[in-house]
């Protein structure tokens, strides 16, 4: 794990003017990655591992909404309250709200430590907005990793997933159970089932993925940025395959190790 990159991501999770407790180390050629794939495919788990491997920050838009949802209602703006409602139903938050939130955090996009975007962009409009914004900042994406998994496997993963309320570590009731039921191995925090991992929300989320997010695969393929990685196997194997696939895209090898 890259200790330098162990910041609290306050700049991302809370937004400006909050500052990360430990700013990520500047890199000569930072990784700027987007992770694609259906909900439950393991993007968060991989983003966390890739963060350790590549040194770039894990930026999840879902984490921002969940962090806002766990604050007191009086600390939430009306726009954020409405975004949290969409999330609870498993529906996509409107593009304007999401983009406003990301644009507020554009320091994280510019950050010299790089980024691993998880859960953003999720629609063509968001992808276009990110592309335009990065072009105006003279930045470019290193690659877009698309994690692939059959639908039945995705449903099983989502419904058994449990998340630590403190450190956000992810477990699974059958395939990756914690040592003590309901308790995080890493920090002792309480494990909970995300509201949007309940069966009624899972269907809505998978439909939203097919309709709005799957078209991004072609969008990034056309830009020559897409790297497809099968999302079966252990998290370590998948991470290894991701790094190999990035390598194969002829991205400078010295950044990988």
Residues annotated as catalytic (active site), given as ranges: 43, 122, 161, 194, 205
Minimum gap (Å) between residue 253 Cβ and ligand AMP: 30
Minimum gap (Å) between residue 236 Cβ and ligand AMP: 22
| Contact call for residue 99 and ligand AMP (CB under 6 A) | no
Options 65, 115, 171, 220; binder of ligand AMP; rule CB under 6 A = 65
Q: What are phi and psi of 57, to 5 degrees?
A: -80, 145
In contact, 210 and 216? CB cutoff 8 Å = no
| Contact call for residue 205 and ligand AMP (CB under 6 A) | yes
From 56, 48, 61, select the one nearest 23 (Cα to Cα).
56
| Contact call for residue 162 and ligand AMP (CB under 6 A) | no
Minimum gap (Å) between residue 120 Cβ and ligand AMP: 4
Options 30, 90, 113, 114; binder of ligand AMP; rule CB under 6 A = 90
Rounded to whole angstroms, the Cα distance separating 211 from 201 reads 15
From 105, 131, 129, select the one nearest 20 (Cα to Cα).
105
| Contact call for residue 213 and ligand AMP (CB under 6 A) | no
- DSSP character for 22? S
Options 36, 47, 59, 93; binder of ligand AMP; rule CB under 6 A = 93
- Could you give the angle at the alpha carbon of 103 between the alpha carbons of 100 and 108, nearest 5°? 140
| Contact call for residue 61 and ligand AMP (CB under 6 A) | yes
Residue 252 CA: distances (Å) to CA of 80, 103, 255: 40, 29, 6
| Residue carrying structure tokens 């999840």 | 60
Options 196, 239, 241, 255; binder of ligand AMP; rule CB under 6 A = 196
| Contact call for residue 87 and ligand AMP (CB under 6 A) | yes
Determine the interface stretch with ligand AMP among 19-27, 82-90, 105-113, 179-187 (rule: CB under 6 A): 82-90
Kindly state the tokens that stand for 232. Answer: 């079966």
Rounded to whole angstroms, the Cα distance separating 172 from 88 reads 20
Cβ of 125: how many Cβ atoms within 10 Å? 15
* Chain residues that interact with ligand AMP, rule: CB under 6 A: 39, 60-62, 65, 86-87, 90-93, 98, 119-120, 122, 126, 196, 205
């Amino acid at each position: 794990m890259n200790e330098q990159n162990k910041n609290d991501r306050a700049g991302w999770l809370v937004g400006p003017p909050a500052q990360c407790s430990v700013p990520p180390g500047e890199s000569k050629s930072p990784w700027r990655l987007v992770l694609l794939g259906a909900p439950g495919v393991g993007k968060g788990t991989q983003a966390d591992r890739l963060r350790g491997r590549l040194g770039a920050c894990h930026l999840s838009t879902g984490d921002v909404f969940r962090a806002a949802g766990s604050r007191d209602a009086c600390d939430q703006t009306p726009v954020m309250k409405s975004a949290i409602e969409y999330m609870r139903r498993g529906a996509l938050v409107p593009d304007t709200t999401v983009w406003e939130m990301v644009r507020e955090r554009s320091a994280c996009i510019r950050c010299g430590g790089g980024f691993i975007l998880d859960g953003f962009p999720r629609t063509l409009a968001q992808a276009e907005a990110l592309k335009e914004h990065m072009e105006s900042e003279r930045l470019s994406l290193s690659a877009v990793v698309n994690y692939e998994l059959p639908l039945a496997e995705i449903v099983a993963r989502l419904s058994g997933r449990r998340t630590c309320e403190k450190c956000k570590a992810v477990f699974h009731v059958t395939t990756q159970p914690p040592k003590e039921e309901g308790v995080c191995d890493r920090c002792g925090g309480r494990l909970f089932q995300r509201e949007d991992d309940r069966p009624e929300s899972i269907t809505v989320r998978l439909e939203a993925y097919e309709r709005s997010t799957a078209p991004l695969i072609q969008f990034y393929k056309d830009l020559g940025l897409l790297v497809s990685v099968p999302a079966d196997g252990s998290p370590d194997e998948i991470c290894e395959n991701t790094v190999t696939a990035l390598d194969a895209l002829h991205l400078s090898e010295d950044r990988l190790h």
